[in-house]
Structure 1
């Protein structure tokens, strides 16, 4: 079967492939934000962490010749940003939302400054698994070419849900997120737990950034993120702080992001640029749909600042 024989079937196929490609950064950033928020802290700085992770991952991959070294470097950069965010937020009378915005600008500024020498050089790409080996149709082959990080993100989502539900460390994070006083009564140190939860969340956001620069779109430039770190906050709210729901919601966001290119692939170009706004419209719609002036958001940790 040739590519011309697909016709309009190319739209859902392209959306499927695009959802898989576009959703991967959303998966990692949203899981990182989910972990951070379940401990009772919101981190709006993950946009800066994502961009800096993309830059540092690309730079290290280029210098070492290894894409996986780039992913490791991006994760370490995310940890450092998370530790900085967590350390500042534990100081008296510090607002975590304001700190997150400041660190977002700081991370993006650092990435743009240090990343200028790496705009032109070509770094190695992350590997992918050709699940479409059984077909000769280019659209199917492209749609079924799955990056390793997408699979890892799916496994991580289920593992994190299991951790929150059944393990001691998951219970500790949930207790700290729901009540600082109860955590202290149990002999726990809420500041330390939130610090390391924020650091782990930053590491995941850094990995999401490395995916952007080392696989899709697969280059480093200053506009690589397009606000995905901020949209992940809305995604976590929509997912009701459930890691598995974060995975499915990330696919939904990814599908929205792939809508424009999918329609263009079958010749629908009128209003093409409007379709690129689909993820942002979806984000706004979800924030409106989940907001309430009369009650806290269901499923939200009680210590989270957006619920107070």
Structure 2
């Protein structure tokens, strides 16, 4: 098979490759938020965490020459932000939704301020695995050039499933999220569990941010996240708080995000901005379709404020 014979397959290949790239940060951010929400707390500050992680990962990769050290640093920056969120939300009469929105502003502001010197320099990118090495067709090779973090995200989804459903710590986390009174009766440290869960969610969101700056699109700029942190919250609701579902939903969102560039790549340039809005339209449609008047958010952890 050569490039001329690929024909109509160019479009689905472009969507496949784009879906894999676009979905990778969604996987990490959504699973991180899922862990946080399983503790009964919602973190709307993920957009700020994502931007801070992208900046920190790019800075450390540039300064150290190691993109993986950048990924770790991005995760630690996200964890620190998660710790801040967890501590603030532990104060009585503090609304975690308001705190999350405030941390969006703080995180993006810090990222923009500290990242000003990073706009021009080029940091070492994350490596990709060339699964399309067997083909001579450029479209196939591009679609199957997969970043290593994508496979880490797949493993993470299954690991979190096992953790939540097959371990004592996972049971404790779910109990804290479902009923604070029951958790206290069993002697579980509710506040500590929620802080650790928020830190874990922040760590994964930071890693998702590092993918944006170190792989796709692979540079640091102030408009990098495009609302992915906020969309991840909707994605968790759509996934019904299940990590395997979150993996599939991330791929769906990734495919929607790749639709516009894929159509442009095969020569369809009309309504380009409308196709680029597909992830946001999908977010709205999913939020409407995944709820019902009879049992809204029936699968949500009982302590989440959106459930009450």
Tell me if TM exceeds 0.5. Answer: yes
1:305 equivalent in structure 2: 305
- Rounded to whole Å, the distance in 2 between the matches of 1:291 and 1:114 is 40
Deviation, structure 1 residue 291: 3.2
Structure 1 position 230 matched with structure 2 position 227: no
Structure 1 position 2 matched with structure 2 position 22: no
1:47 equivalent in structure 2: 47
1:117 equivalent in structure 2: 117
1:243 equivalent in structure 2: 243
Asked whether the equivalents of residues 7 and 266 of structure 1 are also in contact (C-alpha less than 8 Å), the reply is no
Structure 1 position 37 matched with structure 2 position 37: yes
1:57-72 equivalent positions in 2, closer than 5 A: 57-72=57-72
1:89 equivalent in structure 2: 89
1:80 equivalent in structure 2: 80
Deviation, structure 1 residue 235: 0.4
Deviation, structure 1 residue 288: 1.4
TM-score when normalising by structure 1: 0.99
- Rounded to whole Å, the distance in 2 between the matches of 1:291 and 1:159 is 27
Asked whether the equivalents of residues 39 and 193 of structure 1 are also in contact (C-alpha less than 8 Å), the reply is yes
Structure 1 position 203 matched with structure 2 position 199: no
1:132 equivalent in structure 2: 132
Deviation, structure 1 residue 299: 1.2
Structure 1 position 282 matched with structure 2 position 282: yes
Q: Secondary structure at the match of 2:207?
A: helix
1:179 equivalent in structure 2: 179
Deviation, structure 1 residue 266: 1.1
Asked whether the equivalents of residues 62 and 122 of structure 1 are also in contact (C-alpha less than 8 Å), the reply is yes
Q: Which runs of 4+ in 1 moved over 2 A?
A: 1-5, 290-296
Deviation, structure 1 residue 128: 0.8
Deviation, structure 1 residue 15: 0.4
Deviation, structure 1 residue 298: 2.1
TM-score when normalising by structure 2: 0.99
Structure 1 position 158 matched with structure 2 position 196: no
Asked whether the equivalents of residues 42 and 96 of structure 1 are also in contact (C-alpha less than 8 Å), the reply is yes
Q: Secondary structure at the match of 1:258?
A: helix
Deviation, structure 1 residue 289: 1.5
Q: Secondary structure at the match of 1:146?
A: strand
Q: Deviations over 1:183-208 (max 9, x none)?
A: 00011111110000000000000000
- Rounded to whole Å, the distance in 2 between the matches of 1:288 and 1:119 is 39
- Rounded to whole Å, the distance in 2 between the matches of 1:117 and 1:190 is 41
- Rounded to whole Å, the distance in 2 between the matches of 1:50 and 1:34 is 15
Asked whether the equivalents of residues 8 and 266 of structure 1 are also in contact (C-alpha less than 8 Å), the reply is no
Deviation, structure 1 residue 272: 1.1
- Rounded to whole Å, the distance in 2 between the matches of 1:154 and 1:268 is 32
- Rounded to whole Å, the distance in 1 between the matches of 2:49 and 2:155 is 22
Deviation, structure 1 residue 287: 1.2
Asked whether the equivalents of residues 14 and 139 of structure 1 are also in contact (C-alpha less than 8 Å), the reply is yes
Deviation, structure 1 residue 295: 2.9
Deviation, structure 1 residue 7: 2.2
Asked whether the equivalents of residues 122 and 219 of structure 1 are also in contact (C-alpha less than 8 Å), the reply is yes
